[in-house]
């Protein structure tokens, strides 16, 4: 019969003591870490008895170097040696095998040893740090804190600009597949509206408040919301915190509905950035589906189409929503309910595209990942020309000849935003007959994405100025930048938790 090892003994004890553990739980007792703990306990006991390695070695008949290997957690003792050690140290075997580190110091040393064995730590390429007796606890604590931060930053979903743009492109592909109409979310919204007694037309403030309590939440308006968030939901006390004053598309009403959207749609903490984006799109969709219920919007649009008076501003008016939200909701309904294919863009005065959707064959500028956000829109498109229109806040209409055909577009600078953004909806030439503004005489020609259209300077100018200009670039928009890591990208969790703590005791 072979001499059982300490591991065998531990294993045996484990089964004796821990039969209540679930079977899938790992047997941590046999991992490296427990050998380290064992070594720590051995060293602690030896020192507390005032013995050197040589003293102890003599009593158990082993070389000091062998005991040193044991104390450093690099070798596993056989049961016979374990018993000899216990006898020499005048302590029961159990004392040596206990899982708790013998002291704060030992605990720190074990944690550091464990950290250094982590493959993630090893990727740093540092040589193994041997902990000497004189290394202060503070130094070890410091290293462990850095290691903790390293783990946190590597294991949570983060998004590089490339990942963010890829995730966006994938999402757009899915929206395209469904004609930007999400029937399942429409259903959840419809059921929610039924549950709170919605009777048709625009949704009243009272209905919205009923909706909040329908989900078992209370509302609280505050002035000190963390800067990185638009709302915070306290799931423990079931409270939704909102900032009192908001501008533009993100009025408290829409933020509130997006928050409830996450709850209504059973969203879990996002697993990665793509998941985060998908959840945000779905929650926004839910919010719009409540404020502009399908059952009210569809008859309204069908009638407007029959009268050849389709427009976005009427929709925004009737349902008291921003122009952007109305235009977006229009895209949810157009293909599914009106048989219209169309495109939608949001861009700033420089032509930088923030949002885009198309299923009418229009070809957007895009990068190698298929991302459109952050690209520059053709100078000849309506979204650019609207900024030069005489009255830049009325709706601008334009026909544009492009390599994929002629399109008719309506474009409007949404006045509900702090910054100027053009919101554009467009359809193929033959579909313009259903819209108000089809009699426009504005007509432009675009050869984009051909670089000679407008993306490269005209040759005469280039010849004159090449090498003679030194522009200073303005910092770029958020769609292009790295989002800070965290379970919710871009959100400062420390701020959020501090905020919740501050308010939950009120
Ligand atoms: Zn162009």
In tens digits, the chain (506 residues) has pLDDT values of 334 444 444 444 433 333 333 333 333 434 444 777 888 889 888 988 889 999 999 999 999 999 998 888 888 777 778 888 989 998 887 778 777 777 788 888 888 888 888 777 888 888 888 888 888 999 998 998 898 888 777 655 556 667 777 777 788 888 888 999 999 999 999 999 999 999 888 888 888 889 999 999 888 888 887 877 777 888 888 888 887 754 444 567 888 898 899 889 988 877 777 888 888 899 999 999 999 999 999 999 999 999 999 999 999 999 988 899 999 999 999 999 999 999 999 998 888 888 899 999 999 888 776 778 878 899 999 999 999 888 877 899 999 999 999 999 999 998 766 778 999 999 999 999 999 999 999 999 999 887 778 877 777 777 777 776 666 544 444 444 444 444 555 556 666 677 777 777 65
Ligand 1 centroid to residue 450 C-alpha, Å: 7
Question: How far away, in angstroms, is 446 Cα from ligand 1 center?
Answer: 5
Same domain, 319 and 440: yes
**Does residue 259 sit in the same domain as residue 406?**
yes
What is the rounded distance in angstroms from the CA atom of residue 83 to the CA atom of residue 77?
Answer: 10
Separation of 405 CA from ligand 1 center, angstroms? 14
Q: How far is the CA of 384 from the centre of ligand 1 (A)?
A: 10
- Compute the distance from residue 443 Cα to the ligand 1 centre, in Å: 14
101 CA distance to ligand 1 centroid (A)? 69
Q: Tell me whether residue 219 is in a domain.
A: yes
* 482 occurs within a structural domain: no
CA 62 to ligand 1 centroid distance, Å: 83
421 lies in the same domain as 444: yes
In this structure, are 68 and 124 located in the same domain?
Answer: no
Check whether residue 316 and residue 171 sit in a common domain.
yes
Helices (H), 18-63: 32-48, 53-60
Residue 70 within any structural domain of the chain:
yes
d(CA 165, CA 480): 8
Asked if residue 381 is part of any domain, the answer here is yes
Domain boundary, last residue among 408, 431, 452? 452
Q: If you measure from the C-alpha of residue 361 to the centroid of ligand 1, how many angstroms do you get, rounded to a whole number?
A: 16
For residue 434, the CA-to-ligand 1 centroid distance in Å is: 27
Regarding whether 379 and 254 lie in a shared domain, the answer is yes
Q: What integer pLDDT is reported at residue 393 of this predicted model?
A: 75
Q: How many A from CA of 424 to the centre of ligand 1?
A: 16
Q: How far is the CA of 425 from the centre of ligand 1 (A)?
A: 18
Report the separation in Å between the CA atom of 453 and the middle of ligand 1, taken as the mean of its atom positions.
4
- Going from the Cα of 396 to the center of ligand 1, the distance in angstroms, rounded, reads 19
**Whole domain around residue 77: which residue ranges?**
6-102
Distance 376 CA to ligand 1 centre (A): 9
Q: Is residue 210 part of a domain?
A: yes
Instruction: Please check whether residue 442 is in contact with residue 398, taking contact to mean a CB–CB distance below 8 angstroms.
Output: yes
Q: State the CATH number of the domain containing residue 41.
A: 1.10.260.40
CA of 399 to the centre of ligand 1 (A): 14
* Residue 88, domain member (yes or no): yes
Dihedral, 75, 78, 82, 88 alpha carbons, nearest 10? -90
The CATH number of the domain holding residue 281 is 1.10.10.2910
Q: What's the CA-to-centroid distance between 470 and ligand 1, angstroms?
A: 24
375 CA distance to ligand 1 middle (Å): 12
What is the C-alpha to C-alpha distance for residues 193 and 203, in angstroms, rounded to an integer? 9
User: Do both 211 and 140 map to the same domain?
Assistant: no
130 and 95 housed in the same domain: no
Same domain, 145 and 187: no
Same domain flag for 316 and 406: yes
Predicted model pTM: 0.64
Predicted pLDDT at 416: 65
The span from the CA of 46 to the CA of 42, in Å, is 6
C-alpha of residue 381 to centroid of ligand 1, in Å: 8
Question: What is the whole-number distance in angstroms between the Cα of residue 374 and the centre of ligand 1?
Answer: 16
CA of 448 to the centre of ligand 1 (A): 4
Number of structural domains found in the chain: 3
**Which of these, 436, 365, 359, 427, lies nearest to 399 by C-alpha position?**
427
Q: How far is the CA of 57 from the centre of ligand 1 (A)?
A: 84
Do 147 and 170 belong to one domain? no
CA gyration radius, the chain: 33
Give the distance (Å) from ligand 1 centre to CA of residue 379.
Answer: 5
Query: Cα of 14 to ligand 1 centre, how many Å?
Result: 72
Residue 474 in any domain: the answer is no
**Same structural domain for residues 21 and 52?**
yes
Residue 359 domain-assigned (yes or no): yes
Cα-Cα-Cα-Cα dihedral sign, residues 188, 191, 193, 196: negative
Ligand 1 center from residue 130 Cα (angstroms): 63
Q: Is the peptide bond before 85 cis (omega within 30 degrees of 0)?
A: no
């Amino acid at each position: 019969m072979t001499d059982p090892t300490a591991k065998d003994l531990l294993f045996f004890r484990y089964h004796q003591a821990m039969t209540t553990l679930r079977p899938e739980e790992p047997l941590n007792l046999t991992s490296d870490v427990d050998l380290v703990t064992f070594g720590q306990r051995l060293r602690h006991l030896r020192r507390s008895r005032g013995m050197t390695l040589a003293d102890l070695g003599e009593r158990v008949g082993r070389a000091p170097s062998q005991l040193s290997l044991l104390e450093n957690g690099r070798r596993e003792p056989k049961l016979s040696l374990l018993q000899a050690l216990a006898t020499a140290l005048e302590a029961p075997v159990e004392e040596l095998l206990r899982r708790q580190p013998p002291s704060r110091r030992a605990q720190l040393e074990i944690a550091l040893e464990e950290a250094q064995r982590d493959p993630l730590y090893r990727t740093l390429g540092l040589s193994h740090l041997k902990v000497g007796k004189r290394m202060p606890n503070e130094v070890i604590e410091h290293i462990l804190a850095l290691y903790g931060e390293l783990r946190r930053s590597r294991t949570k979903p983060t998004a590089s600009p490339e990942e963010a743009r890829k995730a966006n492109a994938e999402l757009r592909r899915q929206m395209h597949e469904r004609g930007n109409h999400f029937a399942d979310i429409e259903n959840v919204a419809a059921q929610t509206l039924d549950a709170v007694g919605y009777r048709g037309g625009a949704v009243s403030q009272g209905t919205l408040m009923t909706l909040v309590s329908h989900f078992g939440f209370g509302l609280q308006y505050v002035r000190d919301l963390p800067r990185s968030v638009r709302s915070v939901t306290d799931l423990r006390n079931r409270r939704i915190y909102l900032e009192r004053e908001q501008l533009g598309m993100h009025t408290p009403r829409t933020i509130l509905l997006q928050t409830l959207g996450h709850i209504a749609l059973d969203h879990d903490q996002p697993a990665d950035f793509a998941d985060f984006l998908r959840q945000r799109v779905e929650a926004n969709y839910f919010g719009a589906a409540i404020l502009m219920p399908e059952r009210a919007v569809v008859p309204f649009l069908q009638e407007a189409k029959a009268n050849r008076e389709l427009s976005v501003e009427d929709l925004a008016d009737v349902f008291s929503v921003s122009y952007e939200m109305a235009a977006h909701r229009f895209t949810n309904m157009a293909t599914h309910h009106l048989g219209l294919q169309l495109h939608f863009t949001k861009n700033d005065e420089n032509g930088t595209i923030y949002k885009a959707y198309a299923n009418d064959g229009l070809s957007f500028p895009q990068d190698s990942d298929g991302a459109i956000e952050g690209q520059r829109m053709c100078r000849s498109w309506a979204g650019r020309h609207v900024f030069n229109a005489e009255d830049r806040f009325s709706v601008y209409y334009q026909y544009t000849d492009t390599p994929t055909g002629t399109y008719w577009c309506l474009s409007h600078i949404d006045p509900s935003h702090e910054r100027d953004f053009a919101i554009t909806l467009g359809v193929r030439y033959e579909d313009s007959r259903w819209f108000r503004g089809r009699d426009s005489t504005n007509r432009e020609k675009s050869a984009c994405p051909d670089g000679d259209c407008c993306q490269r300077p005209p040759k005469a100018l280039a010849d004159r100025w090449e090498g003679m200009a030194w522009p200073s670039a303005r910092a770029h928009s958020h769609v292009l930048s790295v989002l800070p890591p965290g379970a919710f990208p871009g959100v400062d969790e420390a701020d959020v938790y501090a905020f919740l703590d501050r308010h939950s005791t009120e």
